[in-house]
Structure 1
């Protein structure tokens, strides 16, 4: 076969010729694009692109001086009052290709800068106005909200507080003092809390008096039983005209001691104010309540008693404990009487892991579910007749002694009241044991 005889140098020359031709065509296309951009630009007057090796130099528009460069660290250079030279590096696919020299019209550039500044200033002004409008709207909304709050919440509460100033006294409500309304309102509520506590004390006293009135008839019967034999013996001695013998005096002393015990129990149960707490045996409070209520259990229901007179002991107020026991036993009695057979009431006192537990249970009809959750609130009752204060007072008295109470259904029907008293400190137990 026939072939062309060429040397390696001829191949390299041919390749370089092709590369230069392709490079010239690419440069010509770029120059045309640069001329178009310079022609239609408002501020660009000339462009000069130089590759890193100086092999490619592209020029469009006004001639850019080739040997002028900005000072080190700067990208601009003032050439005259009308022209500004900007020098920027050129990158192609993240690699440095060369340098771009841009010849700018200072006048047009200044006008553009002014326009941009005015545009920014106008934008900031509009933004400021919008913020002012939003702030005004927010203030108006909060103002209307505070006005509504004052009208619908604060004003009624202030009016209520003013009325509270005249509670429990037949006098006109006091005028608002010369202080800020929030401060005056706080003072009024402080006085209201004090007055509510006073009203609570009056309520406890009223319920205690009602309890005394309820057991009064039974105690009257017991006193008659204790004193009538003494009266009859005295009348007998008077009719016979004889001098009292030692036997007569011993009998009279027994009758008077029985009456004295009844009056002592009644005095402990009816003491007007709560006294200091002390370590008490069951005989000093629970048995007192039992003796006071025995007349109410004579005709039923049966009273099952699982309590020792000496143990367990607990710390509390004697009068309050007597009132708690009497209220719980009377509630259980009233519930048990609703059975046809008279019913049963069971009272127990025992020491458990959490402290001392008093249980008073009955086999009555039980408490309706819708009422059970509210029985410790004032004036709530499941009875047809009743004030609804008994369990409320019991709960209040127990809380003062650090105790608690709950109601639970009893197996086989009925209700169980469980009062839990906290365990006494070790020191108190040792003192009592000594």
Structure 2
């Protein structure tokens, strides 16, 4: 019979952050997930007041934390971690038989909303079916526009071209809707993330009228990621394009940074797989623009939500779908102090077996 995992092993293996609070309101222990979420080692967290570490909390939460024997369940609240705002679910559980001692668990909302994403996919699925029926008459309209253009005098050809251009624009929008509503997933395989990122950067530079400085901060030792190469490139293109638009209005010189690193402790629960998935490969796209409107920050990955006047609100929704299809996670945060917006991708690492096959 195999030896049962120790309590320390069980706590260390949790995919959500957990900290132990002593009767003085100070952190006595923190697991690996807490280190990742709070951006500090357990050694640095130990002995610090929980109110000092978890800043930006609502007053009602602060009051509950100040009461030694009070239990608390708070969903979808904001905390400031790593100098950025993060939406989390938080619980406080007093330990019976140990007066004043409490266990606090923290889980990022962005790592728990797979079910909500499924609901959104179902919502967009019906319009995507209708979109298929719309494309047939669009093709006929485009063909008629081209035919008319041949017979019109030169001065009137511009009107005919406007018809075909608008039909093409609508068709592209419908294509994105169909892709967003699709339940099919593309196969994954080991991918060099830096090759995919550099290809995406080259595409954005070739297509963008507004040139913005794009910096690379890559970890050269990063192992291959388990992803779909085309999907990963599309995700990076969308994120960099959005960052370029946001940075164009920056007071300082517009700048985008793409960073990669290995974060060993991060995991999220993939409901459709029925298990926790380790996501150690992190790709971050950062811009120095003004940030997303506060009213939209909690909804940026939802379909038809956009801060751009001419935006359809499908770019980030598609990013989320493609990332989830690769069993990954995507989130965003605003570093108010530094004036930076971060979009973070977390993806699984390709195993040695997958690399050899």
* Shorter-chain TM-score tier: 0.3 to 0.5
What is the TM-score when the length of structure 2 is the normalising length? 0.43
The structure richer in helix per residue is 1
Q: TM-score under structure 1 normalisation?
A: 0.36
Give the greater-gyration-radius structure (CA): 1
Which gives a bigger RCO, structure 1 or 2 (Cα 8 Å, sep 6+)?
Answer: 2
